[in-house]
Structure formats: structure tokens, C-alpha cells
């Protein structure tokens, strides 16, 4: 018997009314159009400071929240940071870890792998971009009465929701960077999140800077990534 308010205690089924069955030609056209649009998405590191409508971010978070998750426990939490002084502190925390990473922690092989991306310890975008979305995974859900419920497949669930979020932001006309300062625990303290929440990704969101440059990198082919048996 689930105690979570969004899950019914007993199995209770309702008719599926939201599914749309398209004719095959339309399916083909839709799949092509979606691929063409998603393929335009590029991770960027040069952001404009131009503000972004908050309601767009809210809609994209609702999209992320519509992702499937282990036992439908929805073990994610998003902290949206627009406050300049908080962004400054996040930048300081991230750059401290990044300097350590680039100067000491990262083995040569890892630095070689990053070379085509042109990344370094300077994270000015954390102050420039209008929104930073810190994405947390919840090992457990704490209910209002203080009782605790274990969550399942947390990394998988958070990753799926993050994919939904990145796609929604792109679809809305925004660019993102999936930033992963490591370790990221400084975010718990700065953003006042409990210890049972693990930060997974710091998503940087905004418009590209004018004349934004991106690395000239490609994607694997279908044959590289999939087989049909
Ligand atoms: N977190 C560092 C390093 C980094 C690691 C990987 I794997 C990347 O794909 C990109 C960067 C940074 O943000 O610079």
C-alpha cells in the first residue's frame, strides 16, 4: 500500500485516453521532423545574459516531471537559480572543484578525451546565463508527517527526466549545457537541500551568446549505436 499522495494505494485503472494513433505516413514524417529538430541541438558554453521568460522554464520543468520513474516515485528535485549572488557563489564553488580537477585530479587520458571540447576550469557562464537548474535525485521521499519512503532506480529516473528537460528547453528555443562539476556536494549547502538528495547535473540555460562557437564534433551513425535482431 503506497503512502505517496500521487500513487493510489490499490491498483486502480482508468482508460487510456491520451494516446494518439497516427497513420504510418504521419508517424514517419513526425519521427523525421523530431530527429531533424533534435539534431540541431548543441551543447554550448558561451551564453548571452539576455533574460528568459520564467513561464517557459516552468513548462519545461513540468515536462521533466512527466517522465517515467521507478514505481512512479518521481525521485527528482529541481532548484532554479536566477539570483546573481547565488550564481556567483555557485561559480566559485564549481571553479574551485574544476581547478582541482584540471590541475590535479584528472588523469592524462581524461584530459585528452576532453581536448576536442575545449573545456577548462573557467566557468564564467555560471554567472552569465540567466538560469541554472540544479537537478537532484532523492534516495528517499520524506512525507509531510516525517515518514520516509525508499525510492528505486533513482539515477535512471533522474537521467530520463533530465533528457525530457533538455529536449523541452531545446524545443522551446533555449540552449543548455549539462555541467557536472565534480564533486557537486557544495550545491546541497548553497541551495539548502538535504543530504539524502544527490546533485546529478547543473543545467545551464539561456540563449547562445552572439557569435557563439561550438566544437566541431559529430554523432555516431545508426549502425554504430544500434542493431536490429
Ligand atoms: N566537469 C569538468 C570536466 C568535464 C568532464 C566531462 I566527461 C565533459 O564531457 C565535460 C567537462 C568541466 O565541466 O569542465
Cell numbers describing residue 6: 500521487
Ligand 1 atom, smallest distance to 180 CA: 1
Residue nearest to atom 6 of ligand 1 (CA): 114
Domains along the chain with CATH numbers = 51-208 (3.40.109.10)
- The conformation of residue 138, written as its DSSP 8-state character, comes to E
Per-residue confidence (pLDDT) for residue 8, from 0 to 100: 77
User: In angstroms, rounded to a whole number, what is the distance separating the alpha carbons of residues 76 and 53?
Assistant: 23
Residue-wise pLDDT tens digits, 156-170? 999 999 999 999 999
Ligand 1 atom closest to Cα of 179?
13
Low-confidence ranges of the chain (pLDDT < 50): none
Nearest-atom index, ligand 1, CA of 110: 7
Separation between Cα atoms, residue 73 and residue 187, nearest integer Å: 23
Q: What is the pLDDT of residues 132-158, one digit of tens each?
A: 999 999 999 999 999 999 999 999 999
Which residue's entry shows cell 535525485?
A: 137
User: Ligand 1 centroid to 115 CA: how many Å?
Assistant: 10
Decide the pairing of beta strands 131-138 and 175-179: unpaired
Nearest Cα residue to 39 out of 181, 228, 222, 219: 219
The conformation of residue 210, written as its DSSP 8-state character, comes to T
- CA of 13 from ligand 1 middle (Å) equals 44
For residue 179, the CA-to-ligand 1 centroid distance in Å is 7
Residues in the ligand 1 pocket, defined by CB under 6 Å: 98, 101, 114, 117, 119, 179-182
* Displacement of CA 137 from its chain's centroid (Å): 11
Ligand 1 center to residue 44 CA distance, Å? 13
Average pLDDT of the chain is: 96
Structure confidence at residue 1 (pLDDT): 62
Under 8 Å CB-to-CB from 72, ≥6 apart: which residues?
A: 4, 6, 7
Amino acid at each position: 500500500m503506497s503512502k505517496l499522495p500521487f500513487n493510489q494505494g490499490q491498483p486502480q485503472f482508468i482508460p487510456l485516453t491520451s494516446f494518439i494513433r497516427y497513420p504510418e505516413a504521419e508517424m514517419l514524417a513526425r519521427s523525421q521532423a523530431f530527429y531533424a529538430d533534435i539534431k540541431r541541438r548543441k551543447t554550448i558554453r558561451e551564453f548571452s545574459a539576455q533574460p528568459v521568460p520564467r513561464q517557459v522554464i516552468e513548462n519545461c520543468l513540468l515536462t521533466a516531471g512527466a517522465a517515467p520513474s521507478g514505481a512512479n516515485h518521481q525521485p527528482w528535485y529541481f532548484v532554479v537559480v536566477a539570483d546573481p549572488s547565488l550564481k556567483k557563489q555557485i561559480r566559485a564553488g564549481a571553479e574551485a572543484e574544476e581547478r582541482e580537477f584540471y590541475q590535479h585530479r584528472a588523469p592524462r587520458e581524461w584530459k585528452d578525451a576532453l581536448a576536442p571540447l575545449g573545456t577548462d576550469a573557467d566557468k564564467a557562464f555560471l554567472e552569465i546565463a540567466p538560469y541554472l537548474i540544479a537537478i537532484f535525485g532523492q534516495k528517499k521521499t520524506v512525507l509531510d508527517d516525517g515518514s520516509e519512503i525508499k525510492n528505486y532506480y533513482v539515477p535512471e529516473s533522474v537521467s530520463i527526466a533530465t533528457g525530457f528537460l533538455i529536449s523541452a528547453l531545446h524545443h522551446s528555443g533555449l540552449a543548455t549545457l549539462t555541467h557536472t562539476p565534480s564533486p557537486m556536494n557544495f550545491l546541497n549547502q548553497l541551495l539548502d537541500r538535504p543530504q539524502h538528495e544527490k546533485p546529478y547535473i547543473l543545467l545551464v540555460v539561456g540563449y547562445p551568446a552572439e557569435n557563439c562557437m561550438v566544437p566541431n564534433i559529430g554523432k555516431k551513425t545508426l549502425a554504430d549505436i544500434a542493431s536490429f535482431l
